[in-house]
Amino acid sequence: MRINPISKETVIMSENRSKRPTDFSSNKNGIEKMEFKDDCPFCIANQHMTAEKIYDSKGSYPVTVVENKYPIVSKKEDTKSNIYGFHYVVIEGREHSKSFYELKKVHIAEIIKAYISVSKDIYENEFIKYVQIFKNNGRDAGASLQHAHSQIVGINIIPEKIKREIENTKEYYKKNKICVLCDILKNEIQIKERIVHQGKEFIALCPYASTYKYEIQIVKRKHSSTMMNLNEKEIDDLSDVLKVVTNKLHRVLGENISYNIYYNFIKEDNEYYHFYIEICPRTVKGAGFEISTGIMVNTVLPEIAAKKLREAIV
């Protein structure tokens, strides 16, 4: 059993559970590659099907942001609900079936710049308490469209999970006079066995209490609570790390692997909360034990996952 030091969530490491028999076969068929799909609203010729653009990077690597037609939350003025905010879709490129890991580093940098710009705009609204950026890659990760895209949601509450993280990190800082992720990073760099890839500004590792098989956490070397103050050098390095580790995931787990990427950050810097990115491969679904207890079972030790990912040639 391992405890996530940030969320305090429990994960059971059980390699034997991966040996259970199954009569389900994984999809061996490759994704059909096409530049354009006539019924995809995100393809360049069909973007009249989407809402008005609120962000457009233009240039050689176009990234556009539009309002989500099927939002998780409605705007404050459009609802009587006690939860409201903004929900945007980030259309990551022109080609319909080009996956995130296939994008050039400079293209990924444009996506990150879009995240930062739109997040800043959302936080200009005083009622917004939290902004969540996430990407669902593949059907098993919740994606409804193949065209590469991600989402930004700003809401008027701080989610309970994030509240717990903030409180846990604050408590750790009071007790140890160091941010928990800074402390973890110092230890991980020293022992090296869970490190996947090291950039100049960011480090990718498999967390000690990984919830998912081959889960990857990307952490900034220098303490920062928000991603909204990243400079050009940091954006460039983060783009490189994201490209490398997603390529490694596809190399180890297959071209059709589904995964979620999410960015956890807060509005303003403090001494205890550390901005991080999580990549969670969706190789299995939680069963009765996980659902009933809230305790996750991981059948691949992060030390083994990190070794395989490190050794993957990309």
Kindly list the distances between the CA atom of residue 276 and the CA atoms of 57, 220, 253, 287, in Å, as whole numbers in the listed order. 24, 7, 23, 28
Q: Give the residue among 184, 273, 193 at the shortest CA–CA distance from 226.
A: 273
Respond yes or no: is residue 149 known to be catalytic. yes
In the set 48, 87, 107, 149, the catalytic residue is 149
Q: What order do you get walking across the sheet with 10-13 strand by strand?
A: 2-3, 10-13, 296-298
40 is in an annotated binding site: yes
**Does the annotation list 43 as a binding residue?**
yes
CA distance 297 to 16: 11
State both tokens at 178: 């160091």
Extract the tokens encoding 258: 């589904």
Contacts of residue 207, Cβ cutoff 8 Å, sequence gap at least 6: 4, 194, 215, 217, 302
The strand order across the sheet containing 259-264 reads 53-56, 64-67, 85-91, 149-155, 130-137, 259-264, 276-281, 216-220, 202-205, 195-198
Per-residue CA distances from 2 to 63, 179, 292 (Å): 40, 20, 18
For residue 120, CA distances in Å to 132, 212, 229, 243, 263 come to 12, 31, 10, 24, 14
Residue 197 among known ligand-binding residues: no
| Closest by CA position to 98, among listed 33, 46, 145, 29 | 33
Do the beta carbons of residue 111 and residue 68 sit within 8 Å?
Answer: no
What positions carry a catalytic annotation?
149
Binding residues, as ranges, are 40, 43, 96, 147
Binding residues for Zn(2+), as ranges, are 40, 43, 96, 147
